[in-house]
């Protein structure tokens, strides 16, 4: 059975890790594409989302989005929206619910997102 919106990005979290779940249907296929094009980078990004989705020391490749994209209303909560650059143009956008320790993958794209151009 193929994953869908709301499903976990497997495997289940370990102790003190965040659960990563698909927040949008398009993120399922996007994640698959990124995994096919850049499997090593996808694996590193997945580990970052699991262990440290909101690092205190943000980098150009892993940071909270800015301005109107910095927060997003999702499932009744206002959550910070973060980005990991997985390739030159490829991006992962995700929302972090600290209370529930869930990361919602809402965008996975092998190309640069139009919203930030």
Q: What is the pLDDT of residues 46-88, one digit of tens each?
A: 999 999 999 999 999 999 999 999 999 999 999 999 999 999 8
More reliable by pLDDT, 38 or 15: 38
Using only the alpha carbons of the chain, give its radius of gyration: 13
Contact in structure between 103 and 18 (CB atoms under 8 Å): yes
d(CA 108, CA 87): 11
Q: pTM for the full model?
A: 0.89
The pLDDT, as a whole number, for residue 87 is: 92
The pLDDT, as a whole number, for residue 26 is: 93
Domain boundaries, the chain: 19-111
> Which candidate, 114, 64, 67, 56, places its Cα nearest to that of 94?
64
Query: Which pLDDT band holds residue 40 (cuts at 50, 70, 90)?
Result: very high
Cβ neighbours of residue 17 closer than 8 Å, sequence gap 6 or more: 50, 51, 101
d(CA 73, CA 79): 6
> Which candidate, 89, 82, 87, 86, places its Cα nearest to that of 105?
82
- Which residues sit opposite 82 in a β-bridge? 64, 94
Fold of 19-111: YaeB-like fold (3.30.2310)
Contacts 24+ apart (CB under 8 A), 64-72: 65/93, 65/116, 69/115, 69/116, 72/106
């Amino acid at each position: 059975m193929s994953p869908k919106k709301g499903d976990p990005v497997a495997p289940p979290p370990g102790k003190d890790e965040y659960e990563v779940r698909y927040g949008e249907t398009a993120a399922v296929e996007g994640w698959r594409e990124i995994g096919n094009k850049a499997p090593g980078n996808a694996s590193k990004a997945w580990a970052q989302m699991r262990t440290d989705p909101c690092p205190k020391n943000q980098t150009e490749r892993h940071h909270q989005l800015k301005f109107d994209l910095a927060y997003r209303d999702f499932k009744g909560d206002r959550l910070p929206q973060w980005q990991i650059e997985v390739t030159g143009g490829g991006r992962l956008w995700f929302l972090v619910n600290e209370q529930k320790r869930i990361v919602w993958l809402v965008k996975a794209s092998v190309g640069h997102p139009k919203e930030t151009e």
